[in-house]
Amino acid sequence: MEEQLNAIFASYKGEKSELIPILQDVQEELGYLPEDAMRQVARFVRLPESKVFGVATFYARFHLQPRGKHTIRLCCGTACHVRGAKRISDKVKEVLQVDVGQTTKDMKYTFEEVACIGACGLAPVMTIDEKTFGKLSPDKAKDILESFGEEPEGGQE
Ligand code: FES
């Protein structure tokens, strides 16, 4: 991690105003913001650790825990709620054995609930990474989760 951080720091001056872009770069490089990395960022931009931790927890885009390979976002906006998002959520939790905000033990999925994603006509909706799945039922969601990412990527090994 040391080397990766130093490589990032090399393109900055160490100014307080650089905090957010640096955190973004660290997250892109490491996948999340480990505590130790945030401490080093704090030292680099000469801010108290509490300030850096505060910023990292304030912005939803920063993740303080390791993330799964794929991110599931289940919409819990009004249209999806009315059409049974809660039952989809329960099914996802049951199939993956996680709670909202958690990552599966095999690190395949991180499960999140989000506000309206603008596809209300397809309610209830969830996305996995960039793909959108609409008109879900609990069974359909289960099938999607069980088969997602199973297709060989890029042909034979
Ligand atoms: S409420 Fe779910 S997409 Fe709008």
Consecutive 10-residue averages of pLDDT for the chain (157 residues): 95 96 95 95 97 94 91 97 97 96 93 96 96 97 90 48
Give the pair of three-digit tokens for residue 65.
């825990």
Q: Cβ(88) to ligand 1 under 6 A?
A: no
CA–centroid distance for 146 within its chain? 19
CA-CA-CA-CA torsion sign (94, 99, 103, 106): negative
Distance from residue 103's CA to the centre of ligand 1 (Å): 23
Q: Cβ(76) to ligand 1 under 6 A?
A: no
Domains of the chain: 2-58 (1.10.10), 70-147 (3.40.30.10)
Whose C-alpha lies nearest to ligand 1, atom 1?
77
Q: Give the global pTM.
A: 0.74
- Are residues 78 and 60 in contact, defined by beta-carbon separation less than 8 angstroms? no
What's residue 152's pLDDT? Answer: 56
